[in-house]
Amino acid sequence: MEIPYEDAVLHGYFYRAAGEGPKPTPVMHNGFDGAAEEPHFFGAVGGQERDCHALTFDGPGQPAAIHRNGLVFRPDRPQARPGSGARALVVGTVLLPS
């Protein structure tokens, strides 16, 4: 899927749970240079099995964003705006060297 972002788009995947109607939707974002495909194994499929949709995406500086759109990491990453009416659970994964 494509998520509008400034003058470009962020690429990601929407995992739809079975059945109709609204469902909880964790937004799964990988850390540092991880790809949108990695949360597939870290929770997106598990969410579907628990009757949740899931959304994964590459943010600026991550594989699809940097290679397709030249979007680099930036310190002022957009944040949810208070009062926007949006409710989200954002899950991030950071893998550190041992």
| Segment 24-77, tens digit of pLDDT | 888 887 777 778 888 788 788 888 889 988 888 888 888 998 999 998 887 776
User: To the nearest 10°, the Cα dihedral for 44, 45, 46, 51?
Assistant: 90
Sequence ranges of the domains in the chain: 2-76+88-93
* Signed CA dihedral, 89, 68, 14, 46: sign only: negative
Q: Give the model's pLDDT for residue 35.
A: 84
